[in-house]
């Protein structure tokens, strides 16, 4: 018997929905059978937020400020997502191993004022530290090509200004999509002679895989007119803000949300079939908890692997299955023998076809820090969604430092006693879809899911990888969500 393509898709979607509804976790009851969950283990709230990164934490606090009861489910042992701060135990100085700065926007300032945390002008440089370049594939010193960075940046922003709607979320993608936005970013760069801007763009394109292969739409979305210019960033001028400890805002949010935060917890299964009720079965360090909420906010990267436990339906599966992500890792090392006054930037001298950006998988940079003896690294995968373990990245680091040492770029025998004292995976990062999917109306389909099945979606996939943009989008989303549901309807009985 030959099945039609539509029937095959329907069968696959049905099987996948059953799998994500609980069967993926052996011996765990599906949420529809919650009779084994005691009253003490059942939590009734207005909203359950899945994910405690930038979007999830903001959504939880915003809902709380609107008088709603909230629960946050976070798989890590802390809130903060891509923001992570290492505090040196000796000097007590903070080292940012994730989000380093924010754009100077009203929502950023009001968010930090909400927690009484002062902000300062961010300066990318550290006094006394010099940036040097090397090709990490050969270990040899490298000299960047001379160019007009500021002129190329201005030319890039001139092109960006043609699409003012993209300064908002991705629901504003124009349709039909302009041909330029569907080009691989490398072709767009060549078309408008923007090569001299690539070194600056690549500084922020880290974690995107081979970012010049992405659709131009996503690159432009990341660098809107409000984005700080090279002059602003490197001079410490207006445009970039930071706190003394960027994780402090998440620590304060955790304290304020109190028992409503479930850390080291995962979704086992979910039931969103009722009209005004979502049931989420969660595995926590203290055992299973059944959360009964009027609304659900998902604030995690919406790749299929992250949505195990969600009761995805035949509309949601074909959308979320289109997302792909990149792998990105940050680590902190000591005893590397890298001089304290050097930040070593990877320059791909043999990667001409990609504008000399680093060859991946590999390290983007080895950054000096404010603490002598400590450097941090950024390691990225290529476009094949390959993931890496801590031992694999550590070996790659030792091998890279050995090449740099053998070529005379670093001291002889550098890295022999290297210690990895912190390691964080930021994967999946910069989730994206192909130009073909964008042209076929992907983002219209994605945003049409908002509010369906009492569920709302937020995060970088709906805006871009910018905390400022994510907070602004989430603020509007949560405000509209509760405005559309005036009052506080009683939860249906089980």
DSSP state of 152: H
DSSP state of 454: G
Q: How far apart are the first and last CA of the chain?
A: 43
Distance in angstroms (rounded) separating the CA atoms of residues 49 and 257: 12
DSSP state of 22: I
DSSP state of 167: G
Distances (CA, A) of 213 to 220, 314, 433, 434: 13, 30, 12, 10
DSSP state of 184: B
Token reading at 393: 């990245």
Token reading at 371: 């603490």
Bin 81: left if φ > 0, else alpha if -120 < ψ < 50, else beta. left
pLDDT given for residue 273 in this prediction? 95
Token reading at 397: 């680091």
pLDDT given for residue 234 in this prediction? 60
pLDDT given for residue 18 in this prediction? 38
pLDDT given for residue 493 in this prediction? 43
Distance in angstroms (rounded) separating the CA atoms of residues 91 and 362: 31
- Taking alpha carbons only, the member of 115, 66, 61, 164 closest to residue 471 is 61
Low-confidence ranges of the chain (pLDDT < 70): 1-35, 226, 228, 232-239, 384-385, 485-494
Distance in angstroms (rounded) separating the CA atoms of residues 68 and 493: 19
């Amino acid at each position: 018997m030959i099945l039609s393509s539509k029937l095959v898709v329907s069968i696959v979607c049905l099987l996948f929905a059953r799998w994500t509804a609980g069967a993926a976790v052996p011996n765990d009851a599906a949420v529809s059978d919650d009779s084994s969950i005691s009253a003490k283990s059942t939590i009734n709230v207005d909203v359950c937020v899945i994910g405690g990164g930038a979007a999830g934490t903001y959504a939880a606090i915003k809902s709380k400020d609107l008088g709603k009861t909230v629960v946050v489910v976070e798989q890590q042992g802390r809130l903060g997502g891509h923001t992570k701060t290492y505090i040196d135990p000796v000097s007590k100085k903070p080292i940012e191993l994730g989000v380093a700065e924010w754009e100077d926007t009203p929502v950023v300032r009001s968010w930090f004022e909400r927690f009484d945390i002062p902000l300062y002008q961010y300066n990318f440089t550290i006094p006394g530290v010099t940036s040097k370049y090397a090709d990490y594939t050969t270990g040899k010193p490298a000299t960047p090509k001379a160019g007009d960075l500021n002129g190329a940046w201005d030319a890039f922003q001139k092109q960006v200004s043609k699409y003012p709607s993209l300064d908002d979320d991705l629901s504003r993608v124009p349709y039909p999509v302009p041909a330029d936005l569907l080009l691989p970013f490398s072709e767009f760069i060549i078309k408008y002679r923007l090569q001299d801007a690539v070194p600056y763009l690549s500084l922020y394109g880290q974690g995107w895989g081979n970012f010049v292969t992405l659709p131009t739409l996503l690159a432009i979305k990341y660098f809107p007119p409000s984005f700080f210019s090279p002059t602003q960033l490197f001079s410490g001028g207006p445009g970039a803000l930071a706190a003394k400890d960027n994780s402090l805002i998440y620590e304060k949010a955790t304290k304020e949300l109190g028992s409503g935060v479930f850390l080291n917890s995962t979704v086992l299964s979910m039931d969103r079939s009722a009209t005004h009720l979502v049931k989420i079965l969660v595995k926590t360090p203290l055992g299973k908890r059944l959360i009964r909420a009027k609304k659900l906010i998902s604030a995690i990267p919406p790749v299929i692997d992250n949505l195990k436990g969600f009761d995805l339906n035949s509309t949601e599966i074909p959308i979320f299955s289109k997302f792909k992500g990149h792998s990105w890792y940050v680590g902190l090392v000591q005893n590397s023998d890298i001089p304290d006054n050097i930040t070593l930037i990877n320059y791909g001298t043999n990667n001409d076809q990609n504008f000399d950006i680093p060859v991946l998988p590999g390290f983007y940079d080895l950054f000096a820090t404010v603490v002598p003896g400590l450097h941090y690294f950024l390691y990225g995968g290529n476009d094949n969604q390959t993931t890496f373990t801590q031992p694999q990245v550590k070996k790659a680091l030792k091998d890279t430092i050995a090449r740099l040492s053998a070529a005379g770029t670093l001291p002889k025998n550098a890295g022999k006693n290297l210690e990895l004292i912190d390691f964080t995976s930021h994967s999946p990062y910069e989730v994206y879809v192909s130009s073909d999917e964008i042209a076929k109306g992907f983002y219209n389909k994605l945003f049409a899911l908002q509010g369906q099945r009492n569920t709302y979606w937020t995060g970088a996939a709906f805006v871009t990888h910018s905390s400022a943009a994510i907070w602004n989008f989430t603020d509007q989303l949560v405000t509209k969500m509760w405005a559309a549901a005036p009052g506080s309807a009683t939860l249906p009985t089980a």
